[in-house]
Amino acid sequence: MIADKPQEYTVLARRFRPQTFSEVIGQDNVSQSLRNAIAGGRVAHAYLFTGARGVGKTSMARILAKSLNCPDAKDGTPCNECEVCQSITAGGDVDVLEIDGASNRGIEDVRSLRANVNVRSMRSRYKIYIIDEVHMLTREAFNALLKTLEEPPPNVKFVFCTTEPQKLPDTILSRCQRFDFGTISSASIQQRLTEIATAEGVEVEPAAIEVVARRAAGSMRDSQSLFDQLLAYGQAKVLAADVHRLLGTAPDSRLIELFAEIVSRRRDRVLELFHAALNEGVQLSELTDQLLNYLRDLMILAAGANEVDLLSVSAENRGHLAKQATDWGLQTILAALQILAEAKGRMKGVTYGRALAELALVRMASLEDLEGLPLLIEQVRSGSPLPAAMPARLSAPEKKNDSAGVKQVDGGRWTVDGGPQTQAAPEKPSAVALEPVASSPPDDNPPSTVHRPPSTISLEPGSEAAILLALQSRLGDMLGSYVKNVRRLAISGPNRLVLSFPSGYDQTKQYLERPDQLSRLANLAGEIVGRPVSIALQIDEVLAGEPAPKPMAPRSVAPTSRADPSKDPFLQHVKSVFGANIVKQDVISVAASISAVTGSEHLDGES
């Protein structure tokens, strides 16, 4: 297959390393800038090359060194024929020193560099230091390098290469000209691999080259390493199936079929196809990455970005993915992507990764159509009534309670059908009115189901305790903890409330007097009393030692209301909304009374 191979085989990444600026693929802006700087005599004393692995940083540093020291260079292009170029290419030139920052990271190594930096170059014009992975140097080493880097000898140049520029001190960054290397496009990688296959005399299917290029994720060196491994596979013609077997990945057809079953919510077929893929030799981690990329591609297509390249399958399968993206919907795809990403994160370092992956697949296949969910959420937030006929895919099955006449919907909403021996479960007042579940013939005056604002407390003498307790109960954060220290609330004027603290609570008073906190208190108090009010704070020495206020009942209800519930307006309102009948009357606690008025779920009676 490959004739006249040398006894000591050299890997493709080294044999096909670029030797001129024009051969560096995907970094045209950097190549042009360096070539112009050399031609114009504006070469800086220090350069910083940053970017992902395998995108040409070290190769560009060597080409720069050859362009500066080659005696036959023309317009910034080395000849690659002289002894200087060949020794730099081999990495053995005495005037171009390549230093591994990971293994020479201490201050002693930098001191040695500083001691030798003043020694003139042996045969070339410049002495060039190429420090790879420079971010691995210690802080002390960077500090020792600062002075030399800022004012090096005129014949010394520095080239730093790193994948993590954020780890370099600002004092180093400010002394370098920085060039950021971008990732290489899949099309450029495919073109280069095709040239290598031709040079090696190997027939490779274009689909196989495309799979390798996608797997490289923008790194030319990674693609050449994978391609080198593929050529060693030893087939007369390398096919895409050979690449998948070698890398432990699933073919495009398998991914498309698997997601077709997920979109159709056929959970049994999803698990069967997943099991078959693993039995065929597909690696669990690789398959999970492919599924994540597939969901990413669906998200891209559902969002309308049709010009963005796909990462999971070839471009010829774009039509299949576009149809699945349309059928599933963007919101459902986002939920599935979140489910699988969370499962992928939990799979690291555990022995039950397959179970987590299967759990994620079943959850994805169980997702309903979520496209209408944002509209329903907006209706709930605005207090608008929900549609009378909600789509079946968004409605949850009803769960009947043991008590006759009581039904539970969606695990937490209760309705009363008005039958005998019924009792409505307590629930926090909701912004959405609940319609009766029991079906009955429509009459001329059906029960009102429109949204009603929560009940308010009248701002008049005698309601001070109820207003204070409502104010304390509706604040659950740090502001609420400060308001609980209020010992007395007084009504001063038509729209003014005065909150009194005992002596020793000056810091609490100062915190609440901040404009933002005082505004929150005033807004909440206005919601409780049903009209705008202002808040004033004071320290009352008379309250020193007085205990916190206990829950106080609102104004007493007339005895006739307790004796005859049918005349109580609140009970009449409950009957009209829920269509219920009064079965039993009990005297409820004061805390429950305040809870019904203020809309809070729990009051413990403590200040």
Tens-digit pLDDT profile for residues 568-577: 777 776 776 6
Longest dimension (CA), the chain: 113
pLDDT at position 432:
39
DSSP 216-278: HTT-HHHHHHHHHHHHTT--SEE-HHHHHHHHT---HHHHHHHHHHHHTT-HHHHHHHHHHHH
Comparing 23-27, 32-36, 172-176, 484-488, which segment has the lowest mean pLDDT?
484-488
What span, in angstroms and rounded, lies between the C-alpha atoms of 562 and 276? 71
What top-level class would CATH report for the domain 451-607?
alpha beta
Residue 589 near residue 427 (C-beta atoms within 8 A): no
pLDDT at 384 over 90: no
Around Cβ 397, how many Cβ atoms within 10 Å? 7
Assess whether pLDDT exceeds 60 at residue 552.
no
Q: For the chain, give the mean pLDDT.
A: 80
Q: Both tokens of residue 370? A: 């979520």
- From residue 329, give the alpha-carbon distance in Å to each of 24, 393, 492, 494: 41, 14, 57, 54
Cβ neighbour number for residue 504 with a 10 Å cutoff: 10
Q: What does the pLDDT read at residue 381?
A: 73
CA nearest neighbour of 450 among 470, 435, 465: 435
Q: Report pLDDT for 398.
A: 42
Average pLDDT of span 318-329: 93
pLDDT at 116: 87
Domain 252-365 fold:
Zinc Finger, Delta Prime; domain 3 (1.20.272)
- Looking at the chain, the domain(s) classified CATH 3.40.50.300 span 27-181
Closest alpha carbon to 209 in 172, 170, 242 = 242
Secondary structure class of 433 (helix, strand, coil): coil
Q: Where does the chain hold its CATH 3.30.300.180 domain(s)?
A: 451-607
Work out the average pLDDT over 86-104: 90
How far apart are alpha carbons 446 and 418 in whole angstroms?
14
User: Residues spanned by CATH 1.20.272.10 within the chain?
Assistant: 252-365
The whole-number pLDDT of residue 409 equals: 42
Domain at 27-181: CATH code: 3.40.50.300
* pLDDT value at residue 279: 94
**pLDDT for res 419:** 41
Using a pLDDT cut of 70, give the percent of the chain over it: 76
302-310 average pLDDT score: 91
- 39 φ, ψ to 5°? -65, -35
Question: What is the per-residue burial (b if ≥16 Cβ within 10 Å, else e) of 532-558?
Answer: ebebebeebeebeeeeebebeebeeee
pLDDT at 581: 73
- Distances in Å between the alpha carbon of 487 and those of 468, 500, 502, 518, 548? 9, 6, 7, 17, 6
* Rounded Cα distance, 260 and 365, in Å: 10
Q: What are the DSSP E strand ranges found in 436-527?
A: 488-491, 496-501
Judged against a pLDDT cut of 70, whether residue 415 lies above it is answered with: no
